[in-house]
Amino acid sequence: MDVLFRNVKELVERAETENKLISEIMIEQEMLITQRSREEIMVQMERNLTVMEEAVEKGLKGVHSVSGLTGGDAVLLQAYIEKGNSLSGTLMLDAVSKAVATNEVNAAMGTICATPTAGSAGVVPGTLFAVKNQLNPTREQMIRYLFTSGAFGFVVANNASISGAAGGCQAEVGSAAAMAAAAIVEMAGGSPQQSSEAFAITMKNMLGLVCDPVAGLVEVPCVKRNAMGASNAVVAADMALAGVTSRIPCDEVIGAMFEIGQSMPSALKETAKGGLAATPTGKWLEAKIFGGAVVGSGK
Amino acid sequence: MKFKSVFDIIGPVMIGPSSSHTAGAARIGRVARDLFGRQPEWARIHLYGSFAETYKGHSTDVAIVGGLLDYDTDDERIKTSFEEAAAAGMAFEFIPETGHTDHPNTARVVIGDSQTEMSMMGISIGGGKIEITELNGFPLRLSGNHPAILVVHDDRSGCIANVSNCLYRHDINIGHMEVSRRQKGEMALMVIEVDQTVDKAVMDELRQLPNITQVTRIAD
């Protein structure tokens, strides 16, 4: 299969030599591989964008999962932002609350767009709809944000993994956060190389993150990991835009993520057998939700 | 490359909560139903690895049943698929297995009706993307890289030539092809990954060819 890029180095080189945005290279590659028109591809991505908007909107109104483990935090965060005393700033908390909103909808079996997975679906839209308020992008630029995210995700999925069962949470929320960081940089006017630096800086700080969902549900700690993934992405984008670079090249960071995922024990890869899932409270919650012997009283 | 489209990364649009354990599971169920060719009357679903450990929490069970009812990943009816299955007259059971498989998210779907039964092994490789690794005891390597056609046929000379000629006439290029059979002269299977979309007319033409039992298409 002929592709325009197989790794981040090729992606950035092509964007810079052809003087194009990373999102443009992704669109061109999609046209090449699927033999579909630019318009068709843009329309499909806009549909995904609309699903993301609706999910955030729904989550900000307040949803709760069947298990009762998650829900309502996006509402709390928005109310807190309104008061105007937040320490981490409006944009940051807005990104966090919208990431949480999306994942609360996901946990409640609502409709979302996997980016790159459902468990990590909050980070890319959360950051997009927060950064939007400051950068005032056009609708096309918002769609491009998703293509830029997708370009980096494409490299990770093919060269490492985007599956928690295969690589832990670093492969899911880690990838999502790094993808979002790269996309923020492009939307803010940074160079393709700066997008790659933002990606590398984010991913480096997500390495080793395990997948240990309580009761096997995509709720605890997934929703809050999306919150932190979003904040990580915004900070890394700012660092890259400031001119900070990663000493370890982007593709090598992705390689390290893959290696770490391979050596991670299966108890920490979406089996709900280790980490937070295996804590006394984690086990108590599992017994409470699915029945069986409830030992102790939890918290 | 396992993931070829940007929409494998930004997508699918789906009912939560898990792309691998819910959306991927629904797709495994739906491909099984596609391959079976009609609504099965019963289903026995064996789950392995992470699927076996966490299927309840991820709604993997309702998703596979939804897939067997032909629901796409974003079909709201996935949530109530158990009730829908009862209404459609499909009995089902889930069997969590302890055995080891190559991939952590593996399901073996055995479905059937009064006439016949079928067994298929599928894996969910992340982000909602799946691969089919076995069909009725035939090991497959259906990568999902391209649209693909599965042809069940009698092991007779000329079958493979007829199928490839038909694809050639429609300007469809074969990217990868595997042929296997149980025993000489018995049931055989062609797995053909192609570069172009295969429309219904081509599928119907393939079905008309001699010694062809079943033709199924797996789109992107």
Whole-number CA gyration radius for chain B: 17
CB–CB of A113 and B12 under 8 A? yes
Q: For tokens 């997708």, what's the residue?
A: A150
A278: contact with B, CB 8 A cutoff: no
Q: Are A6 and A158 in contact (CB under 8 A)?
A: yes
Please tell me the distance from the alpha carbon of residue A202 to that of residue A224, in angstroms, as a whole number.
17
CB–CB of B22 and A124 under 8 A? no
Q: What is the pLDDT of residues A165-203, one digit of tens each?
A: 899 999 999 999 999 999 999 999 999 999 999 999 999
Q: How large is the ipTM?
A: 0.95
pTM of the model: 0.88
CB–CB of A48 and B76 under 8 A? no
CB–CB of B16 and A218 under 8 A? yes
Local confidence pLDDT in tens for the 220 residues of chain B:
889 899 999 999 999 999 999 999 999 999 899 888 899 999 999 999 989 988 988 899 999 999 999 999 999 999 999 999 999 999 999 999 998 888 889 999 999 999 999 999 999 988 888 999 998 888 887 765 668 898 989 999 999 999 999 999 999 999 889 898 878 888 899 999 898 888 889 999 999 999 998 888 876 5
Q: What is the pLDDT of residues B60-92, one digit of tens each?
A: 999 999 999 999 999 999 999 999 999 999 999
A273 class by beta-carbon count within 10 Å (0-12 exposed, 13-18 middle, 19+ buried): middle
What is the reported pLDDT for B68? 97
Q: In a mutagenesis test of the B interface, which of A6, A26, A69, A117 is the best target, namely the one with the most B β-carbons within 10 Å?
A: A117
Token output for A104: 């609360």
Mark which residues 200-229 of A lie under 8 Å from B by CB: 213, 215-219
A111-113 and B13-15 strand pairing: antiparallel
For residue B60, list chain A residues with Cβ-Cβ distance below 8 A: none
Residue B143: CB atoms within 10 Å = 18
Q: Are B13 and B74 in contact (CB under 8 A)?
A: yes
